[in-house]
Amino acid sequence: MADATTTEATELATLAGVIDKKMTRQLKQYLDLCARCAICKDACHQYVATQDVKYLPAYRAELIRRIYKKYFDKTGRFVPALYEGRDPDENLLDELYETTYACTGCRRCMYFCPFSIDTQFILSVAKAMLIAAGRGNEMLGQLADAAIFKGDNMEMFHDVIVDGFKDVEKEVQEITGDPTAEIPVDKQGADILYVALAGAHSIRPAAVIFHEAKESWTLSLFEAANYGFFFGDPVKARKIADRFMDEAVRLGVKEVVITECGHAYRVAEIFHEAWAGKKHPFKVTHVLEKIDAYIKDGRIKVSKAIELPITYHDPCQIGRNGGIFEQPRDIVKAISKDFRDMTPNRQEQWCCGGGGGIVAIDEMNEFRLKSGMKKVEQIRATGAKIVASPCENCRLQMEGLDEVHQLGVRIAAIMDLVVESMPLKGRDAAKV
């Protein structure tokens, strides 16, 4: 009996040790400072939609704080009861799993917090602890491993992938009416390495735009999506991003351009250098920054072809966490006649509820759609018929919301709308 208790105590202490291993000055301050004032309460779309305390940002962080107090904080070790210090036992881990993998990492709570406490950062430690306990989300873990496998065994995939690109290339030639239009792959010395998502939908419109802008570009063999980041394992996340970062170094490009995807941009622009511990020899930009510049420099022609009222949703990882607010708006304004912004917008934009990998977690589907309540209200208030947003997870979520709430809106990627607003020989001829 004594042995079982000792083993259990050792296991708990080992799990708690994850906090110590991940300890940084910022984490320590976030754990020490929180006054539990709960100003963050109404910042979280999940709490607002459910009124369930477990989704209150301060409470999500509190679960980690209570372990920290019991094991690592001097005062907490002296009088754990004062802080309700807890063990990372089964009950706590169950609760932690739900609150942590539900979090979309939008950091809206951090925006409103008087101490700017980064709940997502605290929850990254929670994910590390869940992974250490063998309780990381399986689906996200498998998707991450598959991406790493592809990177390690590229010779297996190379020809199949390039064949797929050739099919898209034919479509691009038809749309542009230019039989020489191409989708370059492995092109040494290109200016741009464009990193798309799996599937033609994020390659085709970009290829059309790059072709029309006469850009010197090449397409990455790897997709930008990073399930390692969602899973919560920075080593996996880094390996996944390394695939196209190494490709960029190999091809000697000047710029890595990330497709319309939220987390991939944040990973590439904000996190990767820190993970890799070295500076990139190239710039990282979002494809909408490029397209905005093409329009402003006159490198592509667009018309105000979109008549229907249109609104723009800031993906959290591109807006608040990525710093791109104006370029997508400028693009949408350049191609439409009736642009209506949501309220609130930009850094105060509500999260749609689809971030952080939650769209890949089936068991959270119902909850996820429920958590989009604020976004539904916002879209309704604009009266828009098109919602443009440059993040695949946002679009998936808002398509779901559209279906459930019968909003009657089209959820669109901005590149698609741009292509629709461009005069293109091939497509325009086919129309007539």
Partner 1 sequence: METYLQITSVWGVYLSIAVFVAGMAWRIWEWSTTPRSPIPLGMFPKPRTGTGRFFKMLKDTFIAPQSFRIEPWMWLAAMAFHIAALGAFVGHLRLIHEFPFLPSLLGEAGMNTFAAWSGSIAGVLMLGAILFWIARRTTGPYKTISVPEDYLLLALLFGVVIMGDHMRFVYGSIVHAATYREWFLSLLAFKPAFPVELTSSNVAFSLGTHMLFVDLFLIYFPFSKLVHTVGALASNYVRSE
Binding positions for partner 1, rule: CB under 8 A: 23-30, 32-39, 41-43, 51, 53, 56, 58-59, 62, 66, 74-75, 81-84, 107, 110-118, 121, 270-271, 274-275, 277, 319-323, 325, 346-348
**Distance (Å, rounded) from C-alpha 73 to C-alpha 300?**
58
Angle between helices 138-152 and 154-176 (to 10 degrees): 90
Q: Could you tell me the smallest distance in angstroms from the CB atom of residue 62 to partner 1?
A: 6
**Distance (Å, rounded) from C-alpha 263 to C-alpha 270?**
10
Q: Could you tell me the smallest distance in angstroms from the CB atom of residue 345 to partner 1?
A: 13
**Distance (Å, rounded) from C-alpha 84 to C-alpha 75?**
12
Q: Could you tell me the smallest distance in angstroms from the CB atom of residue 325 to partner 1?
A: 7
Indicate the residue among 157 and 275 with the shorter CB distance to partner 1.
Answer: 275
Indicate the residue among 6 and 26 with the shorter CB distance to partner 1.
Answer: 26
Indicate the residue among 25 and 431 with the shorter CB distance to partner 1.
Answer: 25
Q: Could you tell me the smallest distance in angstroms from the CB atom of residue 75 to partner 1?
A: 4
Residues paired with residue 312 on neighbouring β-strands, in sequence order: 388
Q: Could you tell me the smallest distance in angstroms from the CB atom of residue 78 to partner 1?
A: 8
Question: Backbone phi, then psi, for 141, in 5-degree steps?
Answer: -65, -40
Dihedral (C-alpha) 169, 172, 176, 180: value to the nearest 10 degrees? 0
**Distance (Å, rounded) from C-alpha 45 to C-alpha 350?**
7
CB 101 within 8 A of CB 367: no
CB 132 within 8 A of CB 15: yes
CA 19 to chain centre: 24
Indicate the residue among 117 and 417 with the shorter CB distance to partner 1.
Answer: 117
Indicate the residue among 124 and 397 with the shorter CB distance to partner 1.
Answer: 124
Q: Could you tell me the smallest distance in angstroms from the CB atom of residue 261 to partner 1?
A: 17
Task: Say which amino acid occupies 396.
Answer: L
Indicate the residue among 35 and 235 with the shorter CB distance to partner 1.
Answer: 35
